[in-house]
Structure 1
Amino acid sequence: MVSLLDPLKVNDLVLDNRIVLPPMQTQKATEDGKVTDELKEHYAKRSEGQGLIIIEHSYISPGGRLAKKQLGIHRDDLIPGLKELASTVHEKGTPAVVQINHAGKTANRENVDSIPVGPSPDENVRKLKTREVKELVTRFVKAGERAVKAGFDGVEIHGAHGFLLNQFYSPLTNKRIDEYGGIFEKRIKFPLEVVEEVRNKIGEKTLLYRLGSDDLDPEGTQIKHSKKFAKRLAEAGVDIIDVSGGICGSRPEKLEGEQGYFIPQASEIRKSVDIPVIGVGGIKSPEFANKVVENGSVDLVAVGRAQLADPEWAVKALRKLKN
């Protein structure tokens, strides 16, 4: 029986265990997206005991920034700082990937250099032209290339929590009638193009996709749709699927309270693909994390807020489970 303590080999990347530090925004970068000593210290404190660290979402273009001091990966001059960040984690012997993202319509107007954009027009949101969508594919690819140049072990593409790729996937936010909107196949076209092109650019490095698996709305994306999408993601070259919420966000009120509130969705996705799946959702106890790996619900467990509160959570969890 596989447990939280067991290693996992993903292509050439070997994870010592199944604990994942998920991407959580710290706002510890500079206002132009550069790595700071404070940010490096944040990850240094949490690098021991992890199977994998996913560095917080980093914006691929100025128009895709969510927060004032969000980490950036949109310019080549950011690579040296990102390289220092990757080395900080690697010094602890822990693999690290960086999440790349565009906030889309959720971008804060005060933090971007233009009107926020999205798949469809909305109040204070401009609809992306087809040409611009294709340009953003290139932006994602360039960001993935920078991640590899900085020494990260791979990239996670953010397609959840109501951000741009999730906005294109969900019928709640995508009202287009062109090649990027309408039926399911057209709504997944942009995310799949990003995945395929990033896959080609980063070579053998590990590629993850954070999937907004459920909008928790009868008119939105449901798990039956995401099982089909997950298969397409795997076919396009994704190595690990990181399952979370869709337009409902990462902490929906109707699910919060019990540990592992997105584990059921992750378990359903796992039945549809032959690649590892990460489960998440307010997980606090090592015993619970271990149980959902042992019972085959997920392959890896992301523990977020508990690790923000206690930087030694992973070390303590491993010690507790070994005894």
Structure 2
Amino acid sequence: MKDLFTPYELQDLKLKNRVVMPPMCQYSVANKDGIATDWHYNHYVSRAVGGTGLIIMEMTDVDPDGRITDYDLGIWSDDHIPALARIVEACHSYGAKVGVQIAHAGRKAEDAPLPVAPSAIPFSAEYKTPRELTTEEVKAMVQKFQAGVERAVQAGFDVIELHGAHGYLIHQFHSPLTNKRTDEYGKDLTRFGREVIQAAKKVMPEGMPLIMRISAQEYVEGGYGLRESVEIGRAYKEAGADIFHVSAGGEGAIAAEGKPGTHAAYQVPLARAFKHELNVPVIAVGRLDEAVLANAVIGNDEADLVAVGRGMLRNPYWTLEAGVQLGKDAGLPKQYELGFPRSRR
């Protein structure tokens, strides 16, 4: 029987357990230059010490004006590589594998003088109206993603995640709410995402998996639901996506009618649907902070990996605590042995 501490392998990615730290923006760049700081180093390396199998670094942007804020990480320049590589190397020394989420905020770029998007539709009345990208600019954007992925490979990351969820640029292209284009990128809503995947795979080593994070349901009137998102996922799988990180929401007003529930594991059914409809590995996410619950998601074959967000913000040693609660060997550092009971069973 598989559990949270069963090792996981996909292609060349070999994880010691199935616990994932999902991307969570820190908004902590010091000089608005996109370069990771000591905060980022301590933040991620502490979770590696804490036993996490896979750490996915926060949304890291391919263009200065593609950031949510000017304090987000960037990967539009070779200047970003050394600080990222330092974090990856340190996390590796504690047995964690590390990914990075490559992204562009599109119309949700709050600090951009003039955000860009598939269509000139603002996120809300509080946001700037974006400028619609020309067809040639869309093609150039695909190359920006590719260049960002290439830099991530140079920095030593083990896996790449593309951000196609939560109302950011790739999501904006595949949503009928935000893509009203009449060119090739409007006639086929998955075209931009597919081209980004294909461009990324060209510069990734053979055997390195590509994760696509996707909102499986938009929860707004006129938005897509699970049936449509599975078909979007099917197109992305055919383009080369190897794993789906299944979330939801992010378009329209977050507090709109139909807002996602807040109960534990509310997004697990979405991940399960992707796993079984598309026959692909999936990462489940969304209020999975309780070890017994996270373990059940794996044991019940609802997902292959479990992402623990808020729980890991509260406790960098969440994975070590989960090992105690489940009576499993979580790789407790000898320096911390006196602080952890062997088992609570």
Residue 334 of structure 2 corresponds to none
Q: Does 1:152 align with 2:163?
A: no
The TM-score with structure 2 as length reference comes to 0.88
Moved over 4 A (4+): 248-253
Q: Does 1:284 align with 2:266?
A: no
- State the distance in 2 between where 1:165 and 1:212 align: 11
Task: Output one character per residue of 1:197-250: Cα deviation in whole Å (capped at 9) or x when no partner.
Answer: 101111222211101211013411211111122222222222211001143489
The amino acid across from 1:236 in the alignment is A
The amino acid across from 1:261 in the alignment is Y
- Are 2:4 and 2:17, in contact at CA under 8 Å, matched by a contact in 1? yes
The number of residues matched between the two structures is 317
Residue 114 of structure 2 corresponds to 115
Tell me by how many angstroms 1:82 deviates.
1.1
The amino acid across from 2:308 in the alignment is V
The amino acid across from 2:37 in the alignment is T
Query: RMSD between aligned alpha carbons?
Result: 1.7
- Are 1:118 and 1:128, in contact at CA under 8 Å, matched by a contact in 2? yes
Task: Output one character per residue of 1:73-97: Cα deviation in whole Å (capped at 9) or x when no partner.
Answer: 1101111111111112112111001
* Among 203, 206, 215, the residue aligned to 2:205: 203
Q: Please say which of residues 252-261 and 272-281 is displaced more in the overlay.
A: 252-261
Task: Output one character per residue of 1:130-185: Cα deviation in whole Å (capped at 9) or x when no partner.
Answer: 00000000000000000000011121000000001001111111111111114xxx
- Are 1:7 and 1:16, in contact at CA under 8 Å, matched by a contact in 2? yes
Q: 1:1-323 residue pairs with structure 2 within 5 A? A: 1-30=1-30, 31-47=32-48, 48-108=50-110, 111-112=111-112, 114-123=113-122, 124-182=129-187, 186-204=188-206, 205-248=208-251, 254-322=259-327, 323=343
- State the distance in 1 between where 2:283 and 2:28 align: 26
- State the distance in 1 between where 2:44 and 2:141 align: 29
Mark the runs of 5 or more structure 2 residues left unpaired by the alignment: 123-128, 328-342
Q: Please say which of residues 272-281 and 56-65 is displaced more in the overlay.
A: 272-281
- State the distance in 2 between where 1:280 and 1:248 align: 18
Mark the runs of 5 or more structure 1 residues left unpaired by the alignment: none
Task: Output one character per residue of 1:183-203: Cα deviation in whole Å (capped at 9) or x when no partner.
Answer: xxx000000100011011112
Q: Please say which of residues 71-80 and 120-129 is displaced more in the overlay.
A: 120-129
The amino acid across from 1:240 in the alignment is I
Task: Output one character per residue of 1:29-69: Cα deviation in whole Å (capped at 9) or x when no partner.
Answer: 23111111111001111113112110000010012011221
Tell me by how many angstroms 1:318 deviates.
1.8
Give secondary structure in 1 for the equivalent of 2:25.
Answer: coil
Greater Cα radius of gyration, structure 1 or 2: 2
- State the distance in 1 between where 2:301 and 2:281 align: 11
- State the distance in 2 between where 1:195 and 1:313 align: 32
- Are 2:62 and 2:104, in contact at CA under 8 Å, matched by a contact in 1? yes
Tell me by how many angstroms 1:126 deviates.
0.5
